[in-house]
Each structure stands twice: as C-alpha cells, then as structure tokens.
Amino acid sequence: MHGRYEPQEIELKWQEFWKRKNIFKSRKDTKRKKFYCLEMFPYPSGKIHMGHVRNYAIGDVIARYLRMRGYNVLHPMGWDAFGLPAENAAIKHGVHPARWTYENIAYMKAQLDRLGLSYDWQREITTCQPEYYKWNQWLFLKMLERGLAYRKASFINWCPSCETVLANEQVIDGRCWRCDSSVTQKELEQWFLKITAYAEELLRDLDTLKGWPEKVITMQKNWIGRSEGAEVIFKIDGTDEEILIFTTRPDTLWGCTFVCLAPNHPLADKLVRDKDVLKEMKGFYGDPLIKLGHFTGYYAINPVNRKKVPIYIANFVLMEYGTGAIMSVPAHDQRDFDFAKKYNLPIEVVIVPERDVMSERPDRAYEDEGYLINSDKFSGLHSIEAREKIIKFLEENGFGKRKINYKLRDWGISRQRYWGTPIPIIYCDKCGIVPVPEKELPVILPEDVRFTGKGGSPLLESHEFLITSCPRCGGRARRETDTMDTFVDSSWYFLAYCLKEEGADLTLEQSSSLEPHQYPRKSDDFLVTPISYWMPVNQYIGGVEHAVLHLLYSRFFTRVLRDLGIVNFSEPFTNLLTQGMVCMESLKCPEHDWLFPSEVKDDKCIHCGRPVEHGRVEKMSKSKKNIVDPDDMIKRYGADTIRVFSLFAAPPEKDLEWSASGVEGIYRFLNRLWNFVQALSSEIRDQNTETSGASRSPSSNLSIVRLTHRTIKRVTEDIEKEFHFNTAIARMMEFLNELQGYVSQKTKGYSEEERAALRFAIESFLLMIGPFAPHIAEELWSQLGNKPSILEYPWPEWNEELARELEYELVIQINGKIKAKIMIPDGLSDDEIKERSLAEPKIKEAISGKNIKNIIVARKRLVNIVLGN
C-alpha cells in the first residue's frame, strides 16, 4: 500500500536532515571552480512576502543546480538590519529597535528555512551588529583620509514626516520614497561620500557589464548623466562681476539673446533689487513647466560677439547642475523659446537644417544638428564640427573652456536617526572635526536611549554617548550624533560573507589581496584570500528597484576598496538578474471595499454576498489586499509547490501573476509524480543499497531511455538559456505525462531491461526536479532505496545520439500552405525527402498537372513545394 503525498511531513523531515548534516556549508577550495550565487538580502520587516519567496526560489534553484554541476557554490544570506521601520516601531509600540529587529530576524529565518532554501547559515551577517558596522566606520575613516568623505553645508532633501534627510535617490516625484510625504529643502551640515570622483569610471565600465540587463545599464547611464560641452564667461556690463555658464551647445553661442540665473545663484542676491520677488521665486515649487522669469536690469556681454544681453532670474534653471547659470538660445532650445515668447525677447536663428538656406521666422526651436549661419568665421560649418572649433576658440581667447558635467551628485550619508551606524567623528572646540582613531572602533550605538519621535535623534539625549574627550587634545568634545544611510551597509555586504570563512576569522583590513599576512597557513592555497577566491558574485538576483541606488553604490564602494588595495577587481556583480514583481488581481466589494482573496467565494463577498469587482492585476500590496501570505500557502501545499509555482508561472525577469488555481495545478503535478513513483517503486526499487543511486543510463534503445535523454537535454538547455525555469518545468511535466502514458499502456509485467529503463527515467527525473522541489525529490529518492542525500549526486548527463529522435513528422507545404504531414526516419538526404513528399498521395493529387517551380527542404522540419502558374 502506498502512502499519500504529505508535504508537511516530508519537508520538515528533510529540512531537519540537511541541517543535521550541515549539507549547505561552503568552504573555499582553490582546486574547485567556484560560483557565488547571491540574492539581495532582506530588510527584517517582520515576515517574508511573495516577492522574497520568488527572489530566493530563483537563487536557490541556481545554487542547487550549479552544485550539481560540480561547482563550489557560495550561497549565503543575511539581514539588512538597520533602518527606519525599527525606530518607528519603537516610537509607536515602545519596543526597542534592536529587540524588534532580532525578533523579526528569528521569525523570518525560520520562514526561509521552511522554504528549504540552501543557505550556508554559518556565514549569516546582520548589519546592526558592531562587528559588522565597525567596518562601515573603518571604511568611512579610510575615505576621509583620502578626501572621499567630506562635510559640507548644503540644501538637502528633508522629509518632515520621517524628520530626516533623504538622498536624491530616495526622492521620488518630490516625495519621500518611504512615507510618500512631500519633501522640502533644508540647509544642514552633512557628511558626503565623493561618488562623483568615480563618475567617469562608473559610466565607462557599464559597457563591460555584459551580464547585466540593458535596462539597468541604461538607468545607471541616465543617472550618472554625463554631458560634454563648455563653460563660458560672460562679464556683467558696468560691474566687475562675471557669470559662468555651462552649455552643451557652444555652436549656438551667436544665437544667445539672454542669460538666466537660478534663483538661488549667489549673484542673484547682488543683482536683484526687489528682494521680495527673489524670495518668492526661491520658494516657488509649482508646476515646473510654467516658466517664471524676472529681469535684473543688468546686461551680460557675450564674449564671442561683444553683444549685450539681458540677465534674467529664471525658475527653470537649477543651481545644482552645471554652474547654475545658462545662456539662452531661444531659436535652438524649446525652453528658452517658450521663455523668450513669454517675455518678448529676441530669437536669432544660427543653425539651419541645410547649408546656406535662410530660415523663416520659427514657430518653435530647432534643436537638431545643422549648419551655422550668422556666426562670424564659423558660419557654414556643420554644428558638430563647429562645436569643437568654437571650444578651441574660447580657450585660445580665455573666454571659456571645455567642460564635462554629470548629473550624479555626491552621496549624502548623514541621517538624523538613531537606528544606524554612528559616524565615527568627534567635534572638539579646539581641534575642530576629529576622526575617531581606528583602534577605538567600533563606536558603539548605545542601547539605553528614549524614543519620543520628536526633535531628531535620541542620541542627542544620550550624554554618555554624546560627551567624550577629544582624541587629539584630550579636552571635552562632542560626538557626531548622525548615523549613516543604511545603503552604506549594503554597499559591501557581499564581501562580508566571504570573510566568514571557516577557520579564518578575518577582517576587511586583513583581507587585502596584496598582503595576505594574517591568513592562516592551513593549506597550500593560503595565498588566495577568501575575498579573491569567492568574488566577484557570479550571479546576483534582486528587484529592479535597486537598479540605481544599491547597485551603483556597490560599484562605487568596490572601486574605493580596490584603490585601498583590499580587493583586486572593480565590478562586484558579474551577472545580474532583476526578477519581476509578484502581482495579483485586486478584488473590491461595493460595500466592504478591498477584499482579501479569502474574503471572496464564488465571485461574491463573503460578508454581504454582493458580486465583487475585479480590479487591475498589479503588484501585491497590503492597501489593496491583493496579497497571499507565504505561511498560509506553505501550510496548505508545502514549500515545494510554492517554489515550483513561482518558477513556473513566468520567466524570472518578467512579472508573475499569482493564481490560486495555478498553484493547485502544481500541487496536482507533484501529487502525480508522487503517486507515479509510489506505484512503481516495488518494481524498480533497488534492494541493494550499496550499489544504488547510480542513475546510469542503460545502454538499451528503449523509447523511454531515449525520452529520458531527450528530456535531460532540453531541461538542461532551458536552465542554461537565461534561467528559463518555466519551460524547464514544462518539459518535466511533459516527461511525466509521457511516462504515465507508457506505464498505463503496459499490460504484462516488466522485463529486466524495462525495469532498468524506468529506474533510470525516474532517477533522472528526481535529480532534475531536485533544485526546484528539493524535498519531494529527496524523499522519493530514498524511497527508491537510494542512500540520501540526493544532493550529493551530479546533474544527469545526456547522450547526444540517444537524445536524437529516430523519426520525426515532416510537414509538406504547397506554396507555403500545409497540405500533409508524414512520419519519416531521421537522416534522410534532401533528395530522399523530396521523393517521399512527392509520393504522398494527397500531394500527388494536388500537384498533378501543375508545374513545379521549386522545392525547398528545411531539414527536420518541412518541405515547401512551389508551384508555377
């Protein structure tokens, strides 16, 4: 009698087994090829959601598959544990952020284990621990030494609700990325990291990232925003002042009819008499498309033609980009054109689409390339050529110089918050800004503080923390109370996993690839440090939402570490997979608003019986209640079903639509597999456990042997081809369908040869499904009399000859229309194929009396007979 498929039972059993055998432990081994498979570590928010499940299921299949392919795989997991929600919980519920965080970690870790994810937990990292954030502080000091960290007062993005500063990357449409409140500007002293020092390199090297999605590369390129042009000096008529402007179109200099300054440009205060107007413009945050200007009464002198042009203050000019001042060429820039029309300023055409053609009065700006007119000796040149020559002309005459600008700004990392890495700085009245000496690291975040939610960081009230002595003069001094942006933590965490190498308690400092002096000489590969062995990450997997933030910062940090001699590479992630979102239809009751899927039965609201409205399919969200809880799903179907479903419903890079009946379908599939193996296990069970687990291919030519080889080939190719797990799983479903068909047609008993063939088919099946549904694979593997663990067996191999189909269906077309299909043996020559096609009765009939113009043979596919008229 065979038992039912009970996922709860077998999954817990094998999870326990894997844990006991410590089967996912990874160790550096220079004799083996390594593979570092990494998923973006989660913020311990409380519980995992389906997005996590999908992300980690993808990573787990890759890790498990590559282990089977013989790689030494590093597959770690950790916690991005600092951050605002912990502090908010403290304010709201009175729980200490540390306690809240650690409790969440414990719960979520159990959830991940329940999914059967193959992590090496011995390498777990938690960023809120001093042993981790010590290295944030150390790196900060190293950057400070090199001028890569600095302090400046600046207008910053301020979220009034979170009472903190936001990085540019954290402002979305003028709103806080986290709480969605409107962001305001505020001037504060901040610590910055000089990512702009690497702007050029970060941009250039994007082209080397062949394993990254084009989309992410483009987003980073746009973010860095390089533009080439010139800075030009305009003297202000009747004063000693000058205005420095930036332009990407020096070829249009002769068409400049006015100059604009940003409202917060330093010169604006000097030039504008009416301070109220200026104040109003500075505070203007209305529709940016409405052009506002104010004439200063002053004129600037265009250096190239000595022409006097009016100076305006304009709301559309940004102080943060370029020089905060522009030359306006209304004929060739639409914004300038709109402005000129509004304030009745002259428009002078200096570029025309075709040589020597005079232009008519334009009704819009001509922004394309063309030929110069009215530009002195440069007239007649093509604009691209003119740009170069004019820049030279500017430089020779001291009018200006070549200049490259970037949109990328330095990264403000100060946060007026408690739950983060303390910035290791001391302020002394006598000595000024003094870095905490390295040997005093880490600066520990004090735990006994109060959370009121008012007036900034609780650290300000912690006198023990705040008041210290100056490392230089010993006098009374004050600590920096700002903490670091949590994106600092995640900018190098992938290295921290490497450092947790067994038997080598390493630090970042010691891990320098150039001087492996501290690394224990236990083996002959001691010269290879864990970082240089494991890095770079071969496959990184996570959401696109980190396309610029985290992924750009990580690339920046890696370069800093490279220049410090700690790592010997520039790019941390060789291949990047940005998985799609998990979506679901939202459901709405006219009476009860949004409904959870569990509140709907037969398309009706369970509370009032009204028919539900079906909303859009969009990202799962609590507010629209279109969510499913991984815990519920696991309880109902087990981890294997959830894993397989989230890999089957869509290819990894696309959005996945959650479907309750789709999940059922996968559960049925696993049940069918279970029952199939159960029914056959007495036939094919290997009594001799010593020699079991071979899964060697029988040399026989039986159809199921061939089918097995063919399936192995196709599944392997699907996985290798951009991880198309959805089709790989479809192949396995087909495989099961065909095996069932084979078995159900069987009336007599099995021959020895057939038994061997079936055993081979099933074992190959289990090995292939293993990375996807590891528990059922392990259980059935052992039920066949094999010694666990299935994880110790390699990925099955196929034989090209046995994977070949002996005969195939040939499609016969006449003039491109299908007329017949015949089975023919593989390996026929083109002539033989033609002959057989023409001999087919239906074809014979169709072509009788007609003139055959041509016959095209597409091997293994079709024949197309082209008839003349």
Partner RNA sequence: GCGAGAGUGGCGGAACUGGCAGACGCGCUGGACUUAGGAUCCAGUGGGCAACCGUGGGGGUUCAACUCCCCCCUCUCGCACCA
Considering only residues 285 to 324 of the shown chain, the ones binding RNA according to CB under 7 A are 288-289, 291, 315-319, 321-322, 324
244 binds RNA (CB under 7 A): no
| Residue closer to RNA (CB basis): 135 or 637 | 637
Least Cβ distance, residue 603 to RNA (angstroms):
11
Among 227, 359, 783, 799, binds RNA (CB under 7 A): 227
Distance CA 349, CA 462 (A): 65
For RNA, the closer of residues 87 and 169 by Cβ is 169
**Under rule CB under 7 A, residue 123 binds RNA:** no
> CA-based Rg of the chain, rounded to a whole angstrom?
34
Strand pairing report for 573-579 and 537-543? parallel
| Close Cβ partners of 293 (under 8 Å, ≥ 6 residues apart) | 260, 312, 313, 314, 315, 339, 342, 343
What is the DSSP secondary-structure string of 770-830?
A: TTTSHHHHHHHHHHTTPPS-GGGSPPP---HHHHS-SEEEEEEEETTEEEEEEEEETT--H
| Site size for RNA (CB under 7 A) | 79
Residue in 192, 493, 669, 795 binding RNA, rule: CB under 7 A:
669
Q: Assess whether the previous peptide bond of 789 is cis (omega < 30° from 0).
A: yes
Q: How far is the CB of 335 from RNA (least distance, A)?
A: 5
Q: Which stretch binds RNA (CB under 7 A): 27-35, 391-399, 489-497, 810-818?
A: 810-818
Residue whose CB is less far from RNA, 108 or 670: 670
E-strand stretches of 255-292: 258-261
Q: Which is nearer to RNA, 182 or 523 (CB)?
A: 182
Coil, helix or strand at residue 608? coil
Binding RNA (rule: CB under 7 A), the pick from 20, 817, 851, 868 is: 817
Distance CA 265, CA 241 (A): 13
214 lies in the site for RNA, by CB under 7 A: yes
Tell me the closest approach of the beta carbon of residue 561 to RNA, in angstroms. Answer: 27
Nearer of residues 139 and 577 to RNA, judged by Cβ: 577
Nearest approach in angstroms of CB 631 to RNA is 20
Q: Which residues contact 378 (CB under 8 A, 6 or more apart)?
A: 251, 254, 372, 386, 389, 390, 393
Figure out which of the listed residues 30, 374, 700, 727 binds RNA, where binding follows CB under 7 A: 727
User: Among 78, 229, 293, 796, which residue interacts with RNA (rule: CB under 7 A)?
Assistant: 229
Torsion of CA 306, 312, 318, 323, to 10 degrees: 30
Q: What's the CA gap between 356 and 367, in Å, rounded?
A: 18
Rounded to a whole number of angstroms, the minimum distance from the CB of residue 830 to RNA is 12
Q: Is 225 in the site for RNA (CB under 7 A)?
A: yes
854 counts as binding RNA under rule CB under 7 A: yes
Contacts of RNA in 620-659 (CB under 7 A): 648-651, 654-657, 659
Per DSSP, the residues of 124-177 read -EETTSHHHHHHHHHHHHHHHHTTSEEEEEEEEEEETTTTEEE-GGGEETTEET
Helix (H, G, I), strand (E, B) or coil at 400: strand
Question: Residues 769 to 798: which contact RNA by CB under 7 A?
Answer: none
Pick 91 or 855: Cβ nearer RNA: 855
**Residue type at position 304:** V
- Least Å distance, CB 6 to RNA, is 14
Binding map of RNA across residues 487-526, x = CB under 7 A, - = no contact: ----------------------------------------
Question: What is the closest distance, in whole angstroms, from the C-beta atom of residue 212 to RNA in the complex?
Answer: 12
Distances (CA, A) of 622 to 43, 49, 183, 586, 717: 17, 11, 24, 10, 38
Q: Can residue 219 be called a binding residue for RNA (CB under 7 A)? A: yes
Query: Is 864 an interacting residue with respect to RNA (CB under 7 A)?
Result: yes
Residue 398 Cβ vs RNA, minimum distance, rounded to whole Å? 20
Instruction: Indicate the length of the chain as a whole number.
Output: 869
Q: Whole-number minimum distance, CB 111 to RNA, in Å?
A: 25
CB of 340 to RNA, least distance (A): 13
Could you give phi then psi for residue 353, rounded to 5 degrees? -60, -35
- Rounded to whole angstroms, how far apart are CA atoms 140 and 484? 10
Q: How far is the CB of 167 from RNA (least distance, A)?
A: 12
Binding mask 376-405 vs RNA (x if CB under 7 A, - otherwise)? Answer: -----------------------------x
Residues 331-350 as x/- pattern, contact with RNA by CB under 7 A: --x-x---------------
CA distances from 279 to 268, 315, 318, 383 (A): 11, 12, 16, 39
Q: Give the Cα separation of 667 and 516 in Å (integer).
A: 51
> Rule CB under 7 A: which of 682-721 touch RNA?
none
Restricted to residues 170-209, the positions that interact with RNA (CB under 7 A) are: 172
Amino acid at 280: E
Closer Cβ to RNA, 325 or 426, answer by number:
325
- Determine the Cα–Cα distance for residues 116 and 17; give it in Å rounded to an integer: 11
Classified as helix, coil or strand, 847 is: helix
Site string for RNA, 731-750 (x = CB under 7 A): --xx--x--xx--x------
Stretch that binds RNA, among 151-159, 373-381, 591-599, 805-813 (CB under 7 A): 805-813
Nearer to RNA (CB atom), residue 527 or residue 806: 806
* Cα gap 96→98, rounded to integer Å: 5
In the complex, least distance from residue 202 CB atom to RNA, rounded to whole angstroms? 16
The smaller minimum CB distance to RNA, of residues 222 and 469, is found at: 222
Q: Taking the alpha carbons of 848, 850, 855, 858 in that order, is the dihedral positive or negative?
A: negative
Q: How far is the CB of 613 from RNA (least distance, A)?
A: 17
3-state secondary structure of 36: strand
SS3 state of residue 664: helix
What would the two tokens of residue 582 be? 């998990």
Residue 740: CB minimum distance to RNA, A:
5
Is residue 376 within 8 Å of 304, Cβ to Cβ? yes
Binding of RNA by 724 (CB under 7 A): yes
Q: Which is nearer to RNA, 74 or 732 (CB)?
A: 732
Minimum Å gap between C-beta 60 and RNA is 20
Contacts (CB under 7 A) with RNA, residues 255-274: 262
Residue with smaller CB distance to RNA, 105 or 311:
311
Angle between helical axes of 774-783 and 660-684 (0-180°, round to 10)? 20
d(CA 442, CA 422): 9
Query: 79 or 723: whose CB is closer to RNA?
Result: 723
Nearer to RNA, 337 or 465 (CB): 337
Site membership for RNA, residue 662 (CB under 7 A): yes
Q: Does 729 bind RNA (CB under 7 A)?
A: yes
Query: Which residue in 473, 514, 818, 839 binds RNA (CB under 7 A)?
Result: 818
Cβ nearer to RNA, comparing 114 with 706: 706
> Three-state SS across 512-534?
CCCCCCCCCCCCCCCCCCHHHHH
**Least gap, CB of 307 to RNA (angstroms):** 17
Rounded least distance, CB 560 to RNA, Å: 24
**Minimum distance, C-beta of residue 823 to RNA, in the bound complex (Å):** 10
Query: Between residues 339 and 556, which has the closer beta carbon with respect to RNA?
Result: 339
Pick the closer one to RNA by CB: 70 or 174: 174
Using alpha carbons, list the distances in angstroms from residue 70 to 5, 475, 524, 760: 31, 60, 22, 21
